[in-house]
Amino acid sequence: MRNEERDLARRRLDKELRYYRMAGKEKHFTPELLRRVRQVLGLPMAEVARALGVSRSVVFRLEQREGRGTISLRALNRAANAMDCKLVYAVIPRGGETLEEMADRRKWTRLLGDRD
């Protein structure tokens, strides 16, 4: 990818990721999201299990794995679909900066580092 194309792609991606960066700045993430969404929607575990074609114990284990951070994206997506929801995820810079800012910082670090 040429530099101009990369810059344009980075600006577009920064725009798309704007709300994810804002969410990433929150100190408190939402733990046990599957269970909490299921509960606030009033979906019994048996209903989600039926939609997934599995037993209730499998749904329970999915919720546990999500809470521990060991669930796969595929399983998380299937569980979300079973609750008539959509999985959305993003990869954002840790500090809440934009990809543009991060790329500029890396560029300057490399340039200044080459002088030494």
What are the domain boundaries of the chain?
3-115
Write the CA distances from 7 to 19, 31, 100, integer angstroms.
20, 35, 8
Class of domain 3-115: mainly alpha
Quote the pLDDT of residue 25.
81
In angstroms, rounded to a whole number, what is the distance separating the alpha carbons of residues 76 and 68? 13
pLDDT band at 9 (very low <50, low <70, confident <90, very high): very high
**For the chain, how many residues are written?**
116
Q: What is the pLDDT of residue 115?
A: 65
Of 32, 19, 40, 26, the C-alpha closest to 89 is 19
pLDDT band at 107 (very low <50, low <70, confident <90, very high): confident
The predicted model scores a pTM of: 0.75
Confidence of residue 24 (pLDDT cuts 50, 70, 90): confident
d(CA 39, CA 54): 18
